[in-house]
Structure 1
Amino acid sequence: MSTGQLLQQCLRLFPRVKVDVAIESWLFAVGLLEHHYAQLHRSKRCWSWRYIDELLADRNAFFFNNMPPHGAETAPVTTKDDLRLRLEQWINRAVISEPLWVKMTSGTTGPPTSVVQTADFQFDNLFLRPLRALEAIGLSAEPECVILALTDNPDCEDVMWPNPWGGAVIQICINELVQADIEKLWGIIDIVRPKLITTKPSLLSALAALDGFGFSGLPGAAVLVSGANFTSAQRLHYRALLGVPIVEAYGLTEVGLMAVSCSCGCGLKVDQDVLVEVLDSDGVPVAPGEIGQLVITSLRNRALPLIRYATGDLARLGLNNAQCDSGDAVHILELAGRELRPFRSVEGRPISAARFHALFTAFPILEFQLTQKSIDCWQLDVEVADGAVIDAQAMRLWVEQRVGTPLNILVRFCIVDTKKGKFQRYQCLVTQ
């Protein structure tokens, strides 16, 4: 199927699909990747502080205001607030003349933050890293294949990104509670036969529902799940339902996909071009196996090179970091503080927290915390911007519309404390 035919089929089912070709930028990105890939993405050694310093020393590639004077290892930890409030200090001025994109973070652990991206970084994230996730579990995929990215964030658009080889990434926004969306999802999967479906745990039930339309799996394909903790029991359950391998992954908007589940089952295998630290509250490395805050160093996005960046997640490094059972010398990561449990509808179906991120733009607020205490009882704590006046009933109706059913919602206007431990903007206290 040609790219044009693929687009026609997508438009038939999802009329809002837009095409983001950016072909000149993609060709530019391919050239950059060919030049930099051996150094930045295919290094067979785990990165070290010395290697980071060697790369940063190339002022033609990296030049920004916060260059650590005594080496990257001594740099202070950077937070999401640093990027949100002082982004210009972290921009790499060496790439200002290149094509650049701006993408917003999800807003799960703080107000959404702008992330500036280079063409090669976006190209790599869209088309190549998902395919390397397949390779990590022993599956092969050609660049001309189709990747279907499912989201339930209503602020996202339906988009198709064709790649230079004839394949594409197709992003589709669905509401798993709407039967018509499930039917359209079946239609597009049946037509494009994606090699990989990327999604989050809360949308796996939508894929499982496709059995009702005669869909029984995609031979040779896989599902990549990220965005929340995903247990082994869940992985086995959905693999049996869908009939395809389930790959757990961890990534950030700031650095892209950076860890995927190892084929030997020992945990999440961290990409070798990402340096990871797990620190205590005083910034001291914890012992392997102990839980601390996950701090990463990555130069793969040349527009926004991150040195000792606090992800906002808690994790532990595996005791077997030196070598996993697959024979690779890797860092093995286990997430301990990214347990973003989906909310539950009255029917018991999962509702992703992504539906509620737009509260920041719908109302003049500084912060909020949404808690589901029971199936139909919710609490919304809201910190209002200075001088703003908000109608509590309007907020209740906004949440109800996102859930799709009338609810008992208590709205409290108060200071939302984000400093105590791992702040959880979304909390579901309903038994899963």
Structure 2
Amino acid sequence: MTVLPNPGPTRSGLPAIGDWKTFGELREHQADRIAPVLHHARDSPFYEKLLEPGQGLAAAGLTRKSDLRDSYPFGMLAVPRERLATYHESSGSTGNPTPAYFTEAEWTDLADRFVRKTVPVGPEDTLLVRIPYGLVLAGHMAHWAAMRSGATVVPGDCRSLAVPYPRVVRLLRDLEVTLTWSTPSESLLWVAAARAAGHPPASFSALRALYVAGEPISNARRRRIEEIWDAPVIEEYGCTEVGPLAGDCPYGRMHFWADRVLPEVYDPQTGGITAEGTGQLVITPLYREAMPLIRYNLEDLVELRYEDCLCGWQLPTVRVLGRLGQGCTVGGKRLGQLQVEELVFRLPASWGVLFWRARAEPDQLVVEIEVPGPDGGEAAAVLAGSVEAELGVRCAATAVPEGTLVPSALLAQQLDAMKPRKLFGPDEDWGQAVVRG
């Protein structure tokens, strides 16, 4: 049994892994927190109308993302405005945004949860943050948590023109970056960009681990990223409204931070809510101040189990199976992205497949894979055979040249931030309103 060392009291004063010894003790802690959580929730305009004084969690209905959008911007606020430290919004393209706000004390809790890593961040580390900043929580959270742990932070926002892929490769190499925080897909784009720049990933020997989140990852893709970068992939699961919800243990299983957030499983067919099982994830944060949430339905399909693990953390395990409504039907069978991804990354690493795409047609799955070398025909044939044998659907697989699915220009462009300019020399084009800085 491997338990992460308990460093003593957390910065937030909230529980640390090791403070409870059994699932029974964990459940007692959760139960003790519910009454104060429900009481505080009634301080928000939204829950004041929904919760009765003294009401228990069992009588509470679901809170949905639409409730947060309808309460934009501060209908969920349960503390005075002057106590807020930050305001955020989760990504979305329709209607009102989904708001989220945090007090300074909650930021200490966010940092506590972020640094629950089997490869911890410390003063000797340089962390490249390659997650969106802007209004999204994840980039700012990693930045702040790593700084509080003494690390050097490189703010490489992945949606900034100031940090194109050639610059990412240069930063990884020249700064001897030891840790990265990104989506799994980003780490593969770095591979292609590094190769394009003549720097194979094996030359980045300082890298100790890749922290990833933001999208599901199959076991095969995780192994491929670890093999290419010669560093472990440490996965995290969370959301902008609450922050980190789960993370990997030393044995590669994802555990839910159930000492900070109570997880439940909702069955939309029956309307039932259970402590574990398979269904939509429903969460009740146990220490949320600015924006308490009661049985908030994330609409993520998960499998949640309270079961023993060799790590000894005594936290439930969680498998994220996808988002409600995701997946496509082919030949009468429902397919998910992770099922196809698993087979793509089981192809031999020597074939160099990093990028792929698939289209679900009524009677077959059409797949394209980028193959940089001469093995495209064989790779496509093997993949098609695997899909038909393991997923039970017809498959037409094709190999396309390198740079087809991820344009080479994307990996080589040197775009930079655009800065206004008003004064031009006699030989310059003053028809340009901006220039690259």
What TM-score results when the alignment is normalised by the length of structure 1?
Answer: 0.60
Structure 1 counterpart SS, 2:299: strand
Query: What is the CA distance between 1:299 and its match in structure 2?
Result: 3.5
Query: What is the CA distance between 1:280 and its match in structure 2?
Result: 0.6
Q: Check whether the contact 1:40–1:273 (CA below 8 A) recurs between aligned residues.
A: no
In structure 2, what is the equivalent of residue 388 of structure 1?
Answer: none
Which of the residues 241, 247, 252 maps onto 1:254?
Answer: 241
In structure 2, what is the equivalent of residue 90 of structure 1?
Answer: 76
Residues 247-305 of structure 1: per-residue CA shift (max 9 Å, x gap): 1221000111111123223444444211111111143035854x311101114441111
Q: Check whether the contact 2:103–2:290 (CA below 8 A) recurs between aligned residues.
A: yes
CA–CA separation in structure 2 for the residues paired with 1:232 and 1:118: 37
Matched, 1:208 2:191: yes
Amino acid paired to 2:36:
L
Which of the residues 216, 227, 247 maps onto 1:240?
Answer: 227
CA–CA separation in structure 2 for the residues paired with 1:154 and 1:349: 28
In structure 2, what is the equivalent of residue 283 of structure 1?
Answer: 271
CA–CA separation in structure 1 for the residues paired with 2:95 and 2:314: 34
Matched, 1:52 2:28: no
Matched, 1:303 2:290: yes
CA–CA separation in structure 2 for the residues paired with 1:62 and 1:145: 43
CA–CA separation in structure 1 for the residues paired with 2:279 and 2:70: 25
In structure 1, what is the equivalent of residue 164 of structure 2?
Answer: 181
CA–CA separation in structure 2 for the residues paired with 1:78 and 1:183: 43
Query: What is the CA distance between 1:239 and its match in structure 2?
Result: 0.4
Amino acid paired to 1:148:
L
Q: Check whether the contact 1:148–1:196 (CA below 8 A) recurs between aligned residues.
A: yes
Matched, 1:323 2:290: no
Query: What is the CA distance between 1:175 and its match in structure 2?
Result: 7.6
* 1:353-392 matches, cutoff 5 A: none
Q: Check whether the contact 1:118–1:301 (CA below 8 A) recurs between aligned residues.
A: no
Query: Measured at CA, do residues 74 and 166 of structure 1 come closer, stay the same or move farther in structure 2, by a change above 3 Å?
Result: same
Root mean square deviation of aligned Cα: 4.3
CA–CA separation in structure 1 for the residues paired with 2:97 and 2:366: 25
Q: Which runs of 5+ in 1 are unaligned?
A: 1-32, 353-371, 376-402, 406-432
CA–CA separation in structure 2 for the residues paired with 1:55 and 1:144: 40
In structure 2, what is the equivalent of residue 72 of structure 1?
Answer: 57
CA–CA separation in structure 2 for the residues paired with 1:300 and 1:193: 37
Q: Check whether the contact 1:43–1:272 (CA below 8 A) recurs between aligned residues.
A: no
Structure 2 counterpart SS, 1:115: strand
Amino acid paired to 2:116:
R
CA–CA separation in structure 1 for the residues paired with 2:313 and 2:295: 24
Q: Check whether the contact 1:129–1:257 (CA below 8 A) recurs between aligned residues.
A: yes
CA–CA separation in structure 1 for the residues paired with 2:60 and 2:99: 22
Matched, 1:105 2:81: no
Q: Check whether the contact 2:129–2:154 (CA below 8 A) recurs between aligned residues.
A: yes
In structure 2, what is the equivalent of residue 147 of structure 1?
Answer: 127
Query: What is the CA distance between 1:196 and its match in structure 2?
Result: 2.5
CA–CA separation in structure 2 for the residues paired with 1:85 and 1:283: 23
Structure 2 counterpart SS, 1:306: coil
Q: Check whether the contact 1:249–1:268 (CA below 8 A) recurs between aligned residues.
A: no
For the pair shown, the structure with the greater C-alpha radius of gyration is: 2
Amino acid paired to 2:267:
D
Amino acid paired to 2:213:
S
Query: What is the CA distance between 1:233 and its match in structure 2?
Result: 0.9
What TM-score results when the alignment is normalised by the length of structure 2?
Answer: 0.60
Structure 1 counterpart SS, 2:154: strand
Aligned pairs, number: 314
Query: Measured at CA, do residues 90 and 156 of structure 1 come closer, stay the same or move farther in structure 2, by a change above 3 Å?
Result: closer
Query: What is the CA distance between 1:115 and its match in structure 2?
Result: 0.9
Q: Which runs of 5+ in 2 are unaligned?
A: 1-9, 327-335, 342-351, 358-364, 369-405, 409-437
Structure 2 counterpart SS, 1:46: helix
Query: Measured at CA, do residues 304 and 146 of structure 1 come closer, stay the same or move farther in structure 2, by a change above 3 Å?
Result: farther
Identity %: 24
